[in-house]
Amino acid sequence: MLQTGMKAPDFTLSDQNGNAVSLSGFLGKKVVLYFYPKDNTPGCTRQACAFAGSYAAFKAQEVVVLGVSKDSAASHAKFAAKYDLPFILLSDPELQAIKAYDVWQEKKNYGKVSMGVVRTTYVIDEQGVIEKVMPKVKPDTNAAEILAYLAGEA
């Protein structure tokens, strides 16, 4: 797992509209980078909708929100349209950023062991350094916890 104080690994991935987006393109802004397992699943939908519901608060602080999963750009486009998601969703089918951020891990589900994305959120500062690591976050409270952290309450 990456640690606070480490330089955030740069990456370039396609967003839901097929545009190439690089993390380094957001230098000078704080970035919330959240990794989630799959579009249109109950937990991931609740997490995305919580970020959407809090988006005005993030935008007011000039914080960029980026969601990453291994779903395709087309899947992201449908997911964003269905739930009116106002932030960037990045497609990582090759696991480039997912592995760089060490969120591709063994998971147990109903006794079955498989590899998958562990729901993790990183807050990256204006210089591209990891400011906070939030492993195994809860979908319903993740956005609120980050806003509390940004407000100095956590």
Q: Which domains does the chain have, with CATH numbers?
A: 12-150 (3.40.30.10)
Q: How confident is the model at residue 30 (pLDDT cuts 50, 70, 90)?
A: very high
The residue length of the chain stands at 154
- CA nearest to 119, candidates 37, 25, 53, 13: 37
Q: Burial letters for 121-145: b for 16+ Cβ neighbours within 10 Å, e otherwise?
A: bbbbeeebebbbbbeebebeebbbb
Query: 42-53 vs 73-83: helix axis angle to the nearest 10?
Result: 60
Choose the catalytic residue: 44, 85, 88, 117.
Answer: 44
* Dist CA 110 CA 128 (whole Å): 38
Q: Pairing state of beta strands 30-35 and 20-22?
A: unpaired
pLDDT at 61: 95
> Secondary structure of the chain: what % helix, strand, coil (to 5)?
30, 30, 40
Q: Pairing state of beta strands 20-22 and 12-15?
A: antiparallel
In the chain, pLDDT over 70 holds for what percent of residues?
99
- CA nearest to 98, candidates 25, 33, 42, 44: 33
* Mean pLDDT over the full length of the chain: 96
Whole-number Cα distances in Å, 12 to 19, 79, 135: 10, 21, 23
81 exposed, middle or buried (CB, 10 Å; 0-12, 13-18, 19+)? exposed
pLDDT at 154: 63
Active site residue 44: yes
